[in-house]
Structure 1
Amino acid sequence: MMAVEAGSSRHTLAAYRNDLERAAEDAGVLGDANTEKLQQLGAKWSDLAPSTVARRSAALRRFYGFLIDDGLRKDDPSAALPRPRLERPLPRILDTAEVERMFAAAEDRAASGEPNGLRNLALLELLYGSGLRATELVSLPRVAVRPDQPFLMVRGKGSKDRLVPISTRAQAAVANWLEIAPGGRPWLFASGKSHLSRVRLFQIVRAMAADAGIAPERVSPHVLRHAFATHLLSGGTDLRVLQSLLGHADIATTQIYTHVDSARLVELVNTRHPLATRNRQPPR
């Protein structure tokens, strides 16, 4: 059902399979589990992170919903599943100076004409310049970036397509990479018999961070996506626009980027609020 009807990706399918298998280890045969069995999961999962408990509970709720919809079960015991309180963590980001250092180091390597240097600069331009997810980036087709089109068509989560703007810098970096990239492959960043893997992209990004003198453990493809979003928001981008650029189904997900620094918030209040331009009358 998840694969055919919901159209879930293989990563989502693997995550659901893992969560259901771990739950079965604690609750027995899931199709036969009753309310009492599910109530015991809270104690058995007490050592797990709240996010892990929430994810497993969500997988089970969907599983029992499927059983009921298909007439395989009449009662729904999922109300007994634990519901941990979650606080969404703030994303890790880089400041603009650190991003500039990464670009300077990547541009120096690309200037030598080294193939990997040209490829890595194109990867960095697309990650930070367009805010792509790792999977979206590595699976881009070879013809995704065109000189006459300032947008990319990206297939994101849930197989949903969206338009993403691409900067002239990124277009130039991709064009330079394509001049030397191996031909006859359908992907922009081909590797072996397929495209560059997410794991390899992770390694490349960390290596670029190290080149720039930044602790590699602080940087990942998703950290660059966070930096893209945060820097746009602090520059005045509307939250709804940012939601569209990032491909978030729910604006609540986008709201994690509202952690702009207090100085920026004070500046906005002092310059944009209607009372900011009102002349203050001296007290009598």
Structure 2
Amino acid sequence: MSQTTDAERAIDTYHQYKEKQSASTAREYRRHVRRFRDYLEDHTEATLWDCHSGHAEDFYQWMKDDKQYAPSSVRVAHASLGDFYSTLETFGTDGRRGFPEVSVSQDPTEHATPERLDGMHKSSKKDVEGGDKPLSSEEVAELIENVPTPTVRNELICRMLYQTGMRRSELVRVKLDHIDQERNHIAVYGKKTEDPRDVWYQSSLNWHLNRWIESERPAVFNAEDSDYLFPTRRQERMDEQTVTDVVTTAAENASLQEVVYRGKPPEGEVESDTGRAINRVGAHTLRKSFGVHFINDGGDISFLADLLGHDDIETTKENYLKYSTKDLQNSVRRHGPSI
């Protein structure tokens, strides 16, 4: 079977898989993956299977400069490709669920980011006032009380994100043997990382873990054959998008959701209110809330950087100190040297 046929089959199968979750998202994601495939064919010697992060970033630049797509559309393209390659990693290795058996040398989105392109930062949530603002502890509690069904699983998802500061990509990769309930500790593995980092949680989480692991998880169709904490009836571990859907739906149910800005309207439409909504509350909001609440309660910024898995502490300072209510000036006056 040719690479072209393999690519089209993979894209069509991916669309069918995503369509079960959301028909509109499936169409949009397929459109971006096809656009990337066509870009590779027209502008490079690479294919979907052997392209790398340089190809992805060149594609984002081409979308922005040559095709005049808005930054928000470029970000959706990045999310689409990331989800496509994550799904291929799950099913394409051994050709399950109708996917062709393909070998992908690397996920080209793993080390590529639209944010490195000139002008992309202007429409990010960070630069819209209050766009990446964390939730208060009361709002987190309200969100958890309003999770969609299955409530036991989805409550645990939200509690784990908030108590540990994990990324959604890390949460879906947690295995049962990564959890040490005696120490309230989890070994966290990111995408394609061999060495974990350590996170800890409050002992109150163990009750929710046990309720899921002992009572609810065994009823999931693939549970017996999965090592992961969150298997689903379709596969051995949950998709990252499912985590986002759980949090955003809970936020909507709790009346906490708000649109920060809108992306490019669909083709043929010009109204600004028809573009894809970029919401304030998502899975990353619980990670942000963990970090800010940690600092506000007196936690050390360098410890937080380690807990969040930041390589550069400046990243932690830039993203978390601006929403801290901890009075740094008074802290220096109180604890700083006087000579």
Shorter chain as normaliser: what TM range? 0.5 to 0.7
CA distance in 2, matches of 1:93, 1:130: 18
2:135 to 88, 95, 98: 95
Alignment of 1:10-29 (within 5 A): 22=39, 25=42, 28-29=43-44
Shift of 1:168: 1.0
1:269 to 317, 322, 329: 329
CA distance in 1, matches of 2:238, 2:300: 33
CA distance in 1, matches of 2:328, 2:181: 37
* Contact 1:150 1:165 (8 Å CA) reproduced: yes
Structure 2 CA distance for partners of 1:263 and 1:198, relative to 1, 3 Å: closer
Is the counterpart of residue 168 in structure 1 residue 230 in structure 2? no
CA distance in 2, matches of 1:18, 1:247: 33
Give the corresponding residue for 1:196: 238
Shift of 1:137: 0.8
Decide which moves more: 177-186 or 239-248: 177-186
CA distance in 2, matches of 1:219, 1:118: 21
Runs of 4+ more than 6 Å apart: 15-21, 275-278
Larger Rg: 1
Structure 2 CA distance for partners of 1:236 and 1:45, relative to 1, 3 Å: farther
2:300 to 238, 246, 253: 238
Alignment of 1:199-278 (within 5 A): 199-215=241-257, 217-261=279-323, 264=326, 267-273=327-333
- Per-residue CA shift, 1:244-272, capped at 9, x if unaligned? 111122223222324435864xx331243
- Per-residue CA shift, 1:1-55, capped at 9, x if unaligned? xxxxxxxxxxxxxx99987964774xx3469xxxxxx9x96953665539959x9
Seq. identity, %: 21
In the superposition, the TM-score normalised over structure 1's length comes to 0.62
CA distance in 2, matches of 1:214, 1:198: 21
Structure 2 CA distance for partners of 1:131 and 1:145, relative to 1, 3 Å: same
In the superposition, the TM-score normalised over structure 2's length comes to 0.53
Would you tell me which structure has more helix in proportion to its own residues? 1
The answer for unaligned runs of 5 or more in structure 1 is 1-14, 32-37, 57-81, 110-114, 279-284
* Contact 1:142 1:189 (8 Å CA) reproduced: no
1:44 to 38, 41, 66: 66
Alignment size in residue pairs: 220
The answer for unaligned runs of 5 or more in structure 2 is 1-31, 47-57, 79-115, 219-223, 259-278
The code of the aligned residue for 2:231 comes to: A
Decide which moves more: 158-167 or 205-214: 205-214
CA distance in 2, matches of 1:198, 1:262: 28
What secondary structure, in the 3-state scheme, does the structure 2 residue paired with 1:194 have?
A: coil
Shift of 1:277: 11
Q: Which has the higher contact order (CA 8 A, sep 6+)?
A: 1
